[in-house]
Amino acid sequence: MYVRNAWYVASWTQDLEAGKPFAIDILGEPIVIWRNEQGVLTALEDRCIHRLAPLSLGRCEGDKIRCMYHGFLYERDGRVAEIPGQDKVPETARIKSYPVVDRHSWIWVWMGAPELADETLIPPAVGFDNPDYILGRGQLDYDAEARLINDNLCDFSHLTFVHAESFGPGEQFAISTPTVAPLDRGVRFSRWIEASPGRKRAAGNGAPSDTWRTYDYLIPGVLVMTGGDYPVGYAKARDYAPPHIDDAIGGVTFTSQAVTPMTEKISRYFFSWGPHVRHGDEKVRDLLMNLAAKAFAEDKTMIEAQQKIIDKTDAPRVLPSAHDRGVTMFNRLVERLAKEEQQRDASAA
């Protein structure tokens, strides 16, 4: 169960070459995306109406794309512009087109009703066009349903166990819980860790500090997270309110992560991470990316193994724990929004 009226990440901006079609399945639907020489983006159903060949094996011709099986030519709105050997094109010759936006270095596709596409709902990720951060990036394909990755990202207590050898936050971390608060389109997690020891692996001078961590997990499955180190006593002095970023004495980074359900059991995971320009450089970024590469491989091993066990289980059930508050909150939000969509669709029909 997924929300359709939402922006799904399809690709990195920089991976989309002008005039070259790009193929991805989202929610089980084959989609072709291309940018023409003028930079105009188009996303269409990746399926020629003639005999169902993929347009992503086709040829971009200016604003249009041509199926390279028998030459059907498509407009940006999905209408067939030309059928070789035929004077007339039937009115019904049309495939689905998707709203598509390039923002924050990601290509976002709206999977719901096109008339409801609302760019203000694009999650506030930080892209390579943001001069405040020095980012690295990566992506992983999972043999697992996207929901399992969402669950993972809504409960960081797994850091103590899955990432004992990478992030390694220690045993204490797993028995403390963040503040969890609902958002219109997501869940906000935040916590102060007072007088925490200098972090072992990331940036920081090694002296204790009050450490702030906050992230939003947003529909359909996008994480935006920041945080930093502040003088000891700072958190209490602010009565544990979120800090001013300018007060940070180190360790400010930003990570954007997106989980895209490609099919029922295949997902693509996009991520970027890096330090604020005042708190790190390319060397810090590379250090963080090496750490992320190790940690996200640990997640993939665990989640794909979890998927295999689920597949072997008749009527799988879970036993949520105290740490699952955020997981449950996010899943209920997804369910509610998905149900509302279905009711709207039903009453419209």
The footprint of a second copy (CB under 8 A) covers 25, 28-30, 46-47, 49-54, 57, 66-72, 83-86, 90, 92-93, 151, 155, 157-158, 160-162, 164, 174-177, 301-302, 305-306, 308-310, 312-313, 316, 318-323
Least distance from C-beta 259 to a second copy, angstroms? Answer: 16
| In the complex, minimum distance from the CB of residue 40 to a second copy, in angstroms, rounded to a whole number | 24
Query: In the bound complex, what is the minimum distance in angstroms from residue 213's beta carbon to a second copy?
Result: 16
The nearest distance, CB 159 to a second copy, in angstroms, is: 10
CA nearest 59: which of 48, 50, 71, 51? 71
* Contact in structure between 257 and 127 (CB atoms under 8 Å): no
Q: Which is nearer to a second copy, 318 or 348 (CB)?
A: 318
Q: Which is nearer to a second copy, 53 or 249 (CB)?
A: 53
Closest CA to 102 of 27, 43, 30, 26: 43
Of 33, 37, 49, give the one whose Cα is nearest residue 109.
Answer: 33
Q: To 10 degrees, the CA torsion angle through 257, 261, 266, 270?
A: -20
Residue 173 or 270 with smaller CB distance to a second copy: 173
CB 208 within 8 A of CB 199: no
Question: At its nearest, how many Å lie between a second copy and the CB of residue 166?
Answer: 13
Residue closer to a second copy (CB basis): 71 or 231 = 71
- For a second copy, the closer of residues 115 and 171 by Cβ is 171
Q: Which residues pair with 78 in a beta bridge?
A: none
Residue with smaller CB distance to a second copy, 181 or 207: 181
Residue 140: helix, strand or coil by DSSP?
strand
Nearer to a second copy (CB atom), residue 60 or residue 126: 60
Closest contact distance (angstroms) between CB of 160 and a second copy is 6
> Hunting for tokens 């590379």 — which residue is that?
286
Nearest to 272 by CA among 224, 204, 212: 224
Q: How far is the CB of 50 from a second copy (least distance, A)?
A: 5
d(CA 157, CA 151): 11
Q: Measure the CA–CA gap between 32 and 22, rounded to whole angstroms.
A: 6
Please give the C-alpha separations between residue 208 and each of 90, 199, 251, 301, 312, in angstroms, as whole numbers: 71, 9, 12, 33, 47
Residue (50 or 185) nearer to a second copy, CB: 50
CB of 26 to a second copy, least distance (A): 12
How many angstroms separate the CA atoms of 206 and 276, rounded?
Answer: 18
